[in-house]
Amino acid sequence: MSVNNSTRMKISTKMKKALNDQVGLEADASNSYLAMASWCEVTGYEGAASYFYAQSDEERTHMLKIIHYLNDMGAISVIPAIKSPAVTYKSLENLIKTALKNEQAVTAAIHKMVEIAQKEKDHSTYVFLEWFVNEQVQEETKFETLLQKFDLIGRDKLAINEIDKLLASQATAESEPTA
């Protein structure tokens, strides 16, 4: 694929911009989960720390998927600057609430891209995005289920310890490359 020949671009300029913005969102997510993992680690939530380190890696793989797709389409990805994430959190529950909000924002952005793809009859991008649509359903469910645990198990020290153990048990599964 020639680098400077924009006539060979297989997606619209609008779609290119949306996908590049998504590279930024995935990078922000990766960075934000990294900050969460680090906070968990210093706070003594070892399970949650390994869970969010793995989650950070996962977001990086999402970012790479989009970069490769843009380049394959002759659209040339532009690597964006990343925002500084929050440094501290009120609680583990609050941290997971923030994670869910992030995921909901990412879902909305992906759905917008799907709409652009449909409008533009851009079948390649439509099919490419399908994986992300499914992934977001899983991501949101994951954090919603975790948040439910605080209502079910509790918010005292023992309960948080249980939830931390639960996160530890899920951390290894998360880091397995499944796609």
Residue ranges in contact with Fe ion by CB under 5 A: 26, 59, 62, 139
79/152 with CB nearer Fe ion = 79
Shortest Å distance, C-beta 22 to Fe ion: 9
1/108 with CB nearer Fe ion = 108
Nearest residue to Fe ion, scored by beta-carbon proximity: 62
Shortest Å distance, C-beta 34 to Fe ion: 13
**Strand, helix or coil for residue 9:** coil
Do the Cβ atoms of 120 and 15 come closer than 8 Å? yes
Shortest Å distance, C-beta 98 to Fe ion: 13
Name the DSSP letter for residue 83.
P
26/122 with CB nearer Fe ion = 26
The string over 99-110, giving b where at least 16 C-beta atoms fall within 10 Å of a residue's C-beta and e elsewhere, is: bbebbeebbebb
Q: Both tokens of residue 158?
A: 């023992």
What's the CA gap between 97 and 75, in Å, rounded? Answer: 35
143/160 with CB nearer Fe ion = 143
